[in-house]
Amino acid sequence: MAAEGLAARAAAVGLLGAVLGEGRLMAQVVADAQGPLAGLPPSDRARAQRLALAVLRHLEQADRVLEPHLRKAPPRMVRDALRLAVVEIAMGGAAHGAVNAAVEIVRRGKRTGHMAGLVNAVLRKVPDQPFEGLPPQRMPRWLRQPLVHAYGREVVSAMEAVQAEVPPLDLTLRAGAVVPEGEVLPTGSLRLEEKGQVSALAGYEAGGWWVQDAAAALAVRLLAPVAGERVLDLCSAPGGKTLQIASSGAGVVSVDVSEARMGRVRENLARCGLEAELVVADALVWEPGERFDAVLLDAPCSATGTIRRHPDLPFVKDGSEVAGLVELQAAMLDRALAMVRPGGRVVFCTCSLLPEEGEGQLAAALERHPGLRVERAEVPGVDPAWWTEGGGLRLRPDLWAARGGMDGFFMVRLGVS
């Protein structure tokens, strides 16, 4: 068969094996110099990632299509090759190319060559529109149950429908910047449907914008930094919020525990011609020397609000880490409150859909700190329905569903006496 596209497809199967078989996050596998993408040109690397992410978004549907044709479960690599072919067909790809590639990948496997005939026979039975009539992939039970309890089945199903789609690309813009063509969202972010290579987009080299989900961009808008203020950005990498604060004219100190991730902050600041003081340190032990006018804490969390961009998360996590994260978030919020001057403000946010990482943290913080108050600032473009009774912003993937949705977040602005 022609080898066109085979390398990318084989790498996609390798990515799936690392995520589903080894329980590794996609970002870790992609960054692995010895991983499935090693030695591939950029175009094949990008295609392999797109294909693997598509399979993860539709794994449940693919398995339902395959199940009637498999008397017993094949080896994982064979199953992943089958899943990939089914998803490619469902995406409108040429069936013969997807089938032939799956057969060839299995044939070349050291322990799977004898199963190439089975793969060919099974895939020849897959219809042209294999997912027709099947519901979107459901979130795992450990996550779905508490979300149904919090938001109701209808809302959770709407979230899942958005998570099944490839998300658009959102950009945060600087005033007067050259930007690509796209839709300006009510909150000011620019949304692109056909993104292509980010570094090739109009205005990239000039540094007039950076990639940042529209929901994530609202945290700094809620903080509302102004020129001349001294602002602290805790857990700052990869740096979108640091860039927002710096572009306001405020002086920003950006703190993150990861030297590697802080490198991305440094690169983006340089590209955009912005300045910030970067500190690689653990926020729980770092001593700033003086208090700040405002503090932004994007606390470590389950990241369950980012499944639309990271569909590997439900397959790698099981919810066991949430209790420890809740404890860490509370400690970090207490630390942030201690770093702001009297009369200052703190914005606490998490990219989580779980109430215990959002609304629950707010309620607990108000109990721990009697002088603390919730400040509901005006944020242009925010739907009034997004505000909770407690005064926080609850953002969900199904909001703006017709536009492509948004990441899930909880954020609240707190005034310190």
* pLDDT tens string 300-338: 999 999 999 999 999 999 999 999 999 999 999 999 999
Instruction: Give the end of a domain, one of 80, 97, 123.
Output: 123
| Domain of 13, in residue numbers | 6-123
Q: What parts of the chain have a pLDDT lower than 50?
A: 1-2
Whether 185 maps to a domain, the answer reads no
Q: What is the pLDDT of residue 382?
A: 97
* Residue 188 CB coordination number (10 Å): 15
**CA 46 centroid distance within chain:** 17
Residue 82 contacts residue 14 (beta carbons within 8 Å): no
Structure tokens at 357: 């990482």
Q: Evaluate the CA torsion angle 55, 74, 61, 103 in order and state its sign.
A: positive
Determine whether 301 is an active site residue.
Answer: no
Instruction: Give the end of a domain, one of 93, 123, 153.
Output: 123
At 410, which helix (H) or strand (E)?
A: strand 409-415
CA angle 318, 264, 201 (to 5 degrees): 100
pTM > 0.85: yes or no: yes
Residue 246 contacts residue 275 (beta carbons within 8 Å): yes
Same structural domain, 118 and 221: no
pLDDT digit string, tens, across residues 243-295: 999 999 999 999 999 999 999 999 999 999 999 999 999 999 999 989 999 99
* CA–CA distance, 120 with 224 (Å, rounded to integer): 58
Same structural domain, 349 and 217: yes
Same structural domain, 280 and 389: yes
Q: What is the CATH number of the domain that holds 378?
A: 3.40.50.150
Overall number of domains in the chain: 2
CA angle 219, 224, 228 (to 5 degrees): 130
Q: What is the pLDDT of residue 2?
A: 44
Residue 259 contacts residue 194 (beta carbons within 8 Å): no
Read off the DSSP letter of residue 406.
-
Q: What is the pLDDT of residue 196?
A: 77
* CA–CA distance, 138 with 154 (Å, rounded to integer): 12
Whether 292 maps to a domain, the answer reads yes
Same structural domain, 230 and 336: yes
Q: What is the pLDDT of residue 3?
A: 56
Instruction: Give the end of a domain, one of 66, 92, 123.
Output: 123
Strand ranges inside 149-229, DSSP E: 169-173, 183-184, 190-192, 209-211
Whether 368 maps to a domain, the answer reads yes
* CA–CA distance, 37 with 46 (Å, rounded to integer): 9
Whether 261 maps to a domain, the answer reads yes
Q: What is the pLDDT of residue 218?
A: 98
Q: What is the pLDDT of residue 135?
A: 94
Write down the catalytic residue from 235, 272, 349, 351.
351
Q: What is the pLDDT of residue 175?
A: 87
Same structural domain, 119 and 218: no
Whether 293 maps to a domain, the answer reads yes
Q: What is the CATH number of the domain that holds 89?
A: 1.10.940.10
Tell me the H-state helices in 69-199.
76-90, 95-108, 116-123, 141-151, 153-163
Instruction: Enumerate residues 6+ apart whose C-beta is below 8 A from 241.
Output: 212, 216, 219, 220, 233, 296, 298
Please report, for residues 137, 174, 212, 259, the alpha-carbon distance to residue 277 in angstroms, rounded to integers and kept in the order given.
Answer: 43, 20, 21, 14
